[in-house]
Structure 1
């Protein structure tokens, strides 16, 4: 109840003259694929939301197969009821109205970063949910071998992006593979919740539904395995996941909230670059 009251007071203090800015970084390394880094910025204000993600691929062959490094963005404008997607590398943008999306059962007709950057791990929320399920299925062996699960909610506190966070370590292993998670949770969620709520409001305005990422990949895998576990209050600020097989080859993924702040409203953060060319759709 106290937290709800604080949030209501916080929302009332944020007017249309302020905005919340978030920066996130994700790093992934896998055999044959190499290293991939995704940097995402989010801008949220009353009636406006923008997300821009850049994808940097280390290996030349993989980068060429994916069409090169990418930088895509999506802008939601509640005043003009418009959804704009853009390709910063090509200097192009495309536009669709909320009415057009409503007439399509709330599904955008233009491909945004979610489809074009589905290799970036965090842009495609629906795919992330499905991948988490696939990873959990891999940990379960064909013979339903019992997994050894260890979970420690530590007393270790770290300040991440100016927010205090608690460390949680979870390991799941069997004779074929192991998965190790390190996650940091914060209960100081006012700015995070504000940004998520502004995005959700605009998506719902055109009849859509925001696809949420799992609050915790470790807890998602534990829940799917049917194992009981102690949950942690708050939201995730940082995590790392390392999966290894019996040959000691594996997959690494790291994500961290690098910065979050409330600043004066800047309308330029919610408009497409004037130098970009308007097209019917992005390739």
Structure 2
């Protein structure tokens, strides 16, 4: 009896449609509400009249809030920190997966052990370290801590461990150096895992709030999430008599803009991301 691939029926499609609406509606509501006059956000929060749509909340938000500075700082941290993660963590994973050296299992166990430490436990030691180095209120404090993290090393180690050793030996026989084997043989094979790591790293850096709000306290180094957290205070401080509706209009405008980069990145990399997530679930 030949196995046949089961296809979703009407019930499954209906369930998926309901779930899609449930997940997408908050995004639509935030974006559509950001285009409404501030008073209508409070008086009729669920309705949206295209005829009344305007960019007033966006213009006011850009005038009241240094969101451009937040985007620029976040982009800088994301590019540099992401590049360090995407370069060093696969190399560390490759070493743990394919090399044998004294203390490898113990060292890898220590790396995994750090995954059990809550982030809040590490904040005070990291802050004292940054203070000793004179890096408080600097980009170094935002970029270096956590740029090479245990989860990324573990993720890459699991992806690389599935590569047959014979494939690596073939590269060495062809005269490739060890780094050449990694760059020309390993990297093309683990591309889905790298794409998944890139998406996860982007999300973690982009959404990070606790460490940036502690490591820097001057506006010139604030990341986007820190700027968003103080948005309401900035609006009321820069505009005399700003009411609750005005604040919410600008908050929704800023939130809508902040969502766009992650949505674009996920849409562009979703196929590789899903393949990378599922890569370790199938064996054979």
TM-score by length of 1: 0.23
Which one has a bigger Cα radius of gyration? Answer: 2
TM-score by length of 2: 0.23
Structure whose residues are more often strand by fraction: 1
The structure whose RCO (Cα within 8 Å, separation 6+) is larger is: 2
